[in-house]
C-alpha cells in the first residue's frame, strides 16, 4: 500500500486480472517456501515512525505536501491524512551497536523535521493519538493528495455498501461515533518495528511476535485519549480495527489474526488469497517473480504482526516481520528502546530454542493482547503455566532478563543493552509510559488538550525517556 497508483476507478476486468496474477504469484511464492529459496541475510533491523504536523496550539495542520517538498528527504513520505508523515529508517544489521546506529539516524532525521517545521511556523510531534484531534479533523477534506488513499476509501465503502464506519470504544469512558469515511484511521499513528530474519527463524518469529504483542503494547502505550474521551491505554488498537472494518466476520482487515502460522509463513499468504477479497486491483506490468500483486494485496491487510516479503539490495528475496503494535513516541529514545525490547524478546526465545506458541495457545495470546491494550502496565495476563500474572511482574522478572539474553546472543554491547533495556526497566518500575504520563498530566492540570499537547512537545524535544518526564 506504500506505492502510488494511477487511478481510483476500477472495472470487473481489473479485479479479475489482479486476482489471476495474485493467485499465480502466490503459487510461485509457495514454491519458494517449499524450496527454501529466501535470502539468508539476517537479522536486519528497520523501522517506520509516523508523526503529526501541528500548529502552535497543538492542533493538526494539513500541510504535508508542501512540508515534505521543503524537507526533501527520501526517508519521509506522506501518510493518509494531510497532517501526518512517515519517517523510514535505513536497514541495519542487528548486531554490534545497532541501536546506537538506529537512534543516531532517527534523531538526525527528526532534527531535520523539526527544523523544517520551523520554516512553516509549526511543530512535528510523535504520539499515538494526538490529544487535540477531533472528528472534524478526520474528514476526507484532510486526506493526503494521493490516489491510493482515495481508492482505499472508495473500496472500503463499497465493501460496506456505503454504510458509515461505526466507532464503539468502552474504556474509562465510552465513545460512540458514526463516520462516513476511512479517515478515522488517520487518528492512530505508530512506531513500526521491522525484522528481517533468516528463513529458518521466520515461523517462530511470527508466532512469538503474536505472543509478545501483549507486553509490547503495554510498555509502549501512548494513546489514552481520543476526541476528548479517556479510553484505553492504547486506544489506537480498537480505533484502527474499527476504522478499517468491512463488516465481514472471521477475517477482519486489522487484527492480531485468528491463529498462529502453521508450517511456514506461507500460511499467512495463503490465507490472504483465500479469505481476503482484493481491495484495490492495481494491476502491475511486472514479472511474477517481483510478487507485485502479492505484496500490494498483503499491504491491504493490516495484521498487528504483518509478514512481508521484500528484496535485498542485491536482488535476493527475503522475509521480514512488521511489528505494528507500538504507538509513536513519546521520545526518540523511547522508540529505540521499544525496538530493543522487541528484538531482545524474539532472539531470547530463539537462542533458547523455545517455541512459546506451544505454551500459550493463540486464543490466550489474543486475549492478553487486548487486555494489555486496554489496561497497559496495569493489565493482568495469562501466561505459560496458565496462571494470572501482573504485567509489571512479568516484564521485570521474566521478560527483561529474556530480552537481555537475546541481545547478548546478537553480540550487542553491554553498554547498549543497559542503555536501552534500562529505559524499559525504569519505565515499567515507575509505572510511567506515555499513556500514564498523559493521564497524570490531565489529573493535575485538567482536560486542556492544547496545553497537554504543548507540554508533551516540549518534553519530547529533550529526547529524555518518558519515565523522566515531569507532570
The answer as to whether 5 is a domain residue is no
- C-alpha closest to that of 71 among 126, 113, 109, 111: 113
φ, ψ dihedrals at 378, nearest 5°? -90, 5
**CA distance from start to end of the chain:** 39
Peptide bond into 43 cis (omega under 30): yes
Whether residue 414 is predicted with pLDDT greater than 70 in this model: the reply is: yes
Torsion-angle region of 198 (φ positive above 0: left; ψ -120 to 50: alpha; else: beta): beta
The answer as to whether 397 is a domain residue is yes
Q: Helix, strand, or coil here: 196?
A: strand
Query: What is the structure's pLDDT at 452?
Result: 98
- C-alpha closest to that of 111 among 65, 80, 73: 73
Distance CA 172, CA 184 (A): 20
The answer as to whether 6 is a domain residue is no
**Under 8 Å between Cβ of 265 and 202:** yes
The answer as to whether 306 is a domain residue is yes
CA angle 90, 91, 93 (to 5 degrees): 135
Mind listing the pLDDT tens digit for each residue in 238-289? 999 999 998 665 689 999 999 999 999 999 999 999 999 999 999 999 999 9
Q: How many domains does the chain have?
A: 1
The pTM assigned to this predicted structure is: 0.97
Residues for the chain: how many in total? 471
The answer as to whether 408 is a domain residue is yes
Percent of the chain with pLDDT over 90: 95
Place of cell 476509501: 153
The answer as to whether 295 is a domain residue is yes
Mind listing the pLDDT tens digit for each residue in 152-163? 999 999 988 899
Give the pairing of strands 84-88 and 76-78: antiparallel
Distance CA 135, CA 240 (A): 14
Q: Which residues pair with 86 in a beta bridge?
A: 50, 77
Mind listing the pLDDT tens digit for each residue in 28-81? 999 999 999 999 999 999 999 999 999 999 999 999 999 999 999 999 999 999
Distance CA 396, CA 25 (A): 45
The answer as to whether 3 is a domain residue is no
Average pLDDT of the chain? 96
Distance CA 137, CA 183 (A): 9
DSSP code, position 286: S
Range of the domain at 233: 12-464
pLDDT confidence bin for 385, thresholds 50/70/90: confident
**Under 8 Å between Cβ of 147 and 7:** yes
Q: What is the CATH number for 459?
A: 3.30.590.20
* Residue with more model confidence, 249 or 398: 398
The answer as to whether 7 is a domain residue is no
Distance CA 47, CA 267 (A): 25
Whether residue 1 is predicted with pLDDT greater than 60 in this model: the reply is: no
Amino acid at each position: 500500500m506504500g506505492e502510488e497508483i494511477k487511478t481510483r476507478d476500477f472495472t470487473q476486468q481489473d479485479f479479475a486480472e489482479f486476482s489471476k496474477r495474485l493467485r499465480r504469484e502466490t503459487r510461485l511464492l509457495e514454491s519458494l517456501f517449499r524450496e527454501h529459496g529466501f535470502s539468508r541475510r539476517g537479522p536486519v533491523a528497520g523501522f517506520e515512525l509516523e508523526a503529526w504536523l501541528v500548529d502552535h496550539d497543538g492542533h493538526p495542520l494539513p500541510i504535508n505536501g508542501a512540508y515534505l517538498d521543503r524537507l526533501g528527504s527520501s526517508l519521509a513520505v506522506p501518510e493518509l491524512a494531510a497532517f501526518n508523515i512517515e519517517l523510514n529508517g535505513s536497514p541495519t544489521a542487528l548486531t554490534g551497536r545497532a541501536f546506537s546506529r538506529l537512534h543516531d539516524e532517527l534523531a538526525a532525521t527528526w532534527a531535520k523535521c523539526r527544523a523544517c517545521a520551523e520554516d512553516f511556523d509549526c511543530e512535528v510531534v510523535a504520539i499515538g493519538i494526538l490529544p487535540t484531534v477531533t472528528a472534524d479533523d478526520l474528514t476526507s477534506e484532510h486526506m493526503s493528495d494521493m490516489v491510493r488513499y482515495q481508492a482505499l476509501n472508495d473500496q472500503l465503502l463499497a465493501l460496506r455498501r456505503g454504510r458509515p464506519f461505526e466507532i464503539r470504544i468502552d474504556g474509562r469512558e465510552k465513545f460512540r461515533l458514526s463516520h462516513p469515511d476511512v479517515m478515522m484511521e488517520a487518528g492512530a499513528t505508530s512506531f513500526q518495528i521491522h525484522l528481517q530474519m533468516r528463513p529458518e527463524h521466520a515461523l517462530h518469529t511470527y508466532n512469538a511476535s503474536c505472543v509478545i504483542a501483549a507486553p509490547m503494547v503495554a510498555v509502549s502505550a501512548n494513546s489514552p485519549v481520543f476526541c476528548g474521551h479517556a479510553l484505553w491505554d492504547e486506544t489506537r488498537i480498537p480505533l484502527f480495527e474499527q476504522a478499517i472494518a468491512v463488516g465481514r466476520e472471521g477475517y477482519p482487515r486489522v487484527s492480531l489474526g485468528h491463529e498462529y502460522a502453521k508450517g511456514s509463513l506461507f500460511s499467512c499468504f495463503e490465507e490472504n488469497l483465500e479469505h481476503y477479497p482484493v481491495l484495490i486491483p492495481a494491476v502491475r506490468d511486472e514479472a511474477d517473480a517481483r510478487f507485485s500483486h502479492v505484496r500490494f494485496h498483503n499491504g491491504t491487510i493490516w495484521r498487528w504482526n504483518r509478514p512481508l516479503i521484500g528484496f535485498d539490495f542485491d536482488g535476493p528475496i527475503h522475509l521480514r516481520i512488521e511489528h505494528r503494535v507500538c504507538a509513536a513516541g513519546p521520545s526518540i529514545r523511547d522508540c529505540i528502546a521499544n525496538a530493543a525490547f522487541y528484538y531482545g524478546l524474539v532472539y531470547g526465545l530463539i537462542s533458547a530454542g523455545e517455541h512459546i506458541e506451544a505454551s500459550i495457545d493463540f486464543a490466550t495470546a489474543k486475549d492478553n493482547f487486548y487486555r494489555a491494550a486496554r489496561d497497559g502496565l496495569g493489565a493482568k495476563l495469562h501466561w505459560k503455566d496458565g496462571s494470572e500474572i501482573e504485567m509489571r511482574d512479568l516484564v521485570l522478572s521474566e521478560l527483561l532478563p529474556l530480552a537481555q539474553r537475546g541481545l547478548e546472543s546478537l553480540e550487542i554491547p553491554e553498554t547498549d543493552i543497559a542503555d536501552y533495556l534500562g529505559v524499559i526497566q525504569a519505565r515499567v518500575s515507575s509505572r510511567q509510559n506515555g499513556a500514564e504520563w498523559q493521564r497524570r498530566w490531565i489529573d493535575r492540570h485538567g482536560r486542556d488538550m492544547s496545553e497537554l499537547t504543548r507540554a508533551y512537545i516540549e518534553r519530547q524535544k529533550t529526547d529524555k525517556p518518558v519515565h523522566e518526564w515531569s507532570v
